[in-house]
Structure 1
Amino acid sequence: MTATIAYDRQVSNLIDKLSATGHVTHKSYKKTSVTLHHNGGRLSHQGVLDVWKTRPASAHFDVDAAGSVAQYVKVNEYAWAVGNMAGNQRSISIEMANATLAPTWTVTEATWKNSARLAGWLFAKVIGERPSKSNLFYHHHWSSTACAGPHMDRIYAKVLAAAQEAYDHFKGSHPVPRSDIEPFPGASFFHTGKKSPIIAAMHRRLVAEGCKRYQSSANADVWGPGDAKSYAAWQHKLGFEGADANGIPGKTSWDKLHVPNV
């Protein structure tokens, strides 16, 4: 039996059953994005498979109304999903069960949150890039369709944030700083092994303003990078100059970011 992904939650294996329909193109491609769909019905995993037995379509995953995951196509293979050859080659598609049908096509919170979590895992383990507006798509990005529906359009920002949170989790905790970088005062607070809410807030604010990530050697993402050079770079981007960009956490920095001082 063809194995599913090594996800940390159960994944129902329907890969070989879908392959038997002939609705899969067994050719591998480098994946660069994830695309979310609604499946057009309140369908179970088996219900999705039953549709694809007669309809020449496929996707890599389905997330049902309870949030459970099934896999139908190996992640690096071509799926007949987005109505666009380049999209089918380069994107990993996740179907989502609907809670209601037209015109709103709502999706339960359990479904979209677990879809976003799965997307975060795929970005961390397969694609190698953090989710963003430039690589986490809905079906209508690729072709003329309303999918994944108006409800999902309204909550895209929440979906993206959930996928980014999952990506950060799956990339692993607590990077180790280089030995040739001197920690800034208070680094022990930010390197407790838990995500720093202040550093996370700084990161989100800077990314929202189109700034580059100042991660130094640690590739730290939303983790506190633990060195003065990185913190000073953040301060420079926030408009501090001279001695004020000293790489030391301070109340003025927090106030400028509108995050709590601790």
Structure 2
Amino acid sequence: MATPLSPDALVRALRGEGVRMREHGNWRTHNRNHKGSWGPVHGVMLHHTAGRDSLALCRRGTPDLPGPLCIGLITKDGTLHLVGYGRTNHAGNGSTAVLDAVRASKVLPSRPGPDAVDGNARFYGFEIENLGNGSDPFPAAQLATVERLSAALCRAHGWSGASVIGHKEWTRRKIDPTFSMPVMRGRVAARLGSDAPGDDHTAYEAFPGAAYFAIGRRAGMFTAVGRRLVEEGCGRYAVGPGPVWSEADRASYAAWQHKLGYRGADADGIPGRASWDRLRVPRS
């Protein structure tokens, strides 16, 4: 647990991690602290907006749920918009067991327990602009900012990647965000130079060897590979991805290799161990 950062310390931490941001109005003092304490804090909670053009909503909220609804909104272009600071209406009540796991940097329960703890007081909350329908993509720039801001807060507090959770992991009432939280925790852990308990090697597909990726071969994990490539902004699919390794998969993987800085024969779309380990494909 930790005392929340000051607004100035937050900005320094975000800038240190390379986060591109915009500050809106009186965000440093715009909060719901009059409704209860904020802190000690234990981690970062991620949400999706279930809509677009969400900046005004995140700042002001609704008559039934007054704003701010988060500390910051990450738009599709990867900009973090700071709209509030302190207690915000982002989490609601959630699982004691989940909070205990986050405190201890342990693996989260497979299902959240009863909604018994006020998450608004215990987490930094961030909204990610997305329709939340499973087909609206999260651009690579947007996910990169999610990774960077999460790492910034974890680094500032001495937390691990295990301190980053999704709203869907906090309560059974929610499905957000729709991307893989184990993958995001792995990305944060990698940026921090550490492992997220239970989310690293055992949670990802082992590298099966380059020869495994033959055009026309069928394997269940190929769908997961394609989905990760789409999440990274490298999808080159007209249809899919699916369980049969195709030229579209190879083109998508080549785009991933280019994103990592490989060129020429090293970016031929055939997975190698180094690029595979960095992709972090969830175990099927």
TM-score range, shorter chain: 0.5 to 0.7
Distance apart, 1:15 and its partner CA: 6.1
Deviation at 1:62, TM superposition (A): 1.2
- Is 2:119 the counterpart of 1:110? no
8 A Cα contact 1:15 1:73, kept in partner: no
Equivalent residue in structure 2 for 1:49, among 56, 59, 74: 59
CA contact (8 A) 1:113 1:159 kept: no
RMSD: 3.6
Q: Deviations over 1:204-232 (max 9, x none)?
A: 9996469xxxxxxxxxxxxxxxxxxxxxx
* CA–CA separation in structure 2 for the residues paired with 1:60 and 1:33: 13
Evaluate the alpha carbon distance shift between residue 109 and residue 52 of structure 1 in structure 2; reply closer, same or farther with a 3 A threshold: farther
- Call closer, same or farther: CA 1:56–1:47 in 2, change over 3 Å: closer
Counterpart in 1 of 2:11?
5
Whole-angstrom distance in 2 between the partners of 1:142 and 1:205: 17
- Shift in Å, 1:32: 1.1
The one-character-per-residue Cα deviations of 1:129-162 (angstroms, maximum 9, x if unpaired) are 1112xx221112222333314x41xx32331122
Q: Does 1:79 align with 2:85?
A: no
Residues 1:142 and 1:42: Cα distance change in structure 2 (over 3 Å): same
Q: Give, in whole Å, the separation in 1 of the partners of 2:63 and 2:72.
A: 15
User: Conserved in 2, the CA contact under 8 Å of 1:37 and 1:94?
Assistant: yes
Question: Can you give the 5+ residue segments of structure 1 that lack an aligned partner in the other structure?
Answer: 169-199, 211-257
Deviation at 1:101, TM superposition (A): 4.9
TM-score, normalised to structure 2, is: 0.49
Aligned partner of 1:93 among 109, 125, 134 = 125
Residue 31 of structure 1, CA deviation = 1.6
In structure 2, how many angstroms separate the alpha carbons of the residues matched to 1:140 and 1:206?
Answer: 16
- How many equivalent pairs are there? 168
Unaligned runs of 5+ residues in structure 2 are: 1-6, 94-116, 204-272, 275-284
- TM-score, normalised via structure 1 length: 0.52
1:129 maps to amino acid: W
Of residues 51-60 and 105-114 in structure 1, the stretch that sits farther from structure 2 once superposed is 51-60
Within the alignment, does 1:31 sit opposite 2:37 as a pair?
A: no
Could you tell me the percent identity over the aligned residues?
Answer: 14
Shift of 1:119: 0.2
Aligned to 2:209: none
Given candidates 166, 181, 186, the residue that maps to 1:161 is: 186
Alignment of 1:1-262 (within 5 A): 3=8, 5-6=11-12, 7-8=14-15, 9-14=19-24, 16=26, 24-25=32-33, 27-46=37-56, 48-51=58-61, 55-57=65-67, 58-74=69-85, 77-84=86-93, 85-98=117-130, 100-102=131-133, 104=135, 106-125=137-156, 127-132=157-162, 135-149=163-177, 151-152=178-179, 155-168=180-193, 208=201
Q: Note closer, same or farther for the CA distance 1:204–1:128 as it changes in structure 2 (3 Å cut).
A: closer
User: How far has the Cα of 1:120 moved from its partner?
Assistant: 0.6
Kept after mapping to 2: 8 A contact 1:113/1:162: no
Where relative contact order (Cα < 8 A, 6+ residues apart) is larger, the structure is: 2
Give the C-alpha shift of residue 108 in structure 1: 2.3
Deviates more, 1:102-111 or 1:24-33: 102-111
> Moved runs in structure 1, 4+ residues, more than 6 A?
203-207
Q: CA 1:35/1:90 → structure 2, altered by over 3 Å: closer, same or farther?
A: same
How much has 1:14 moved relative to structure 2?
2.7
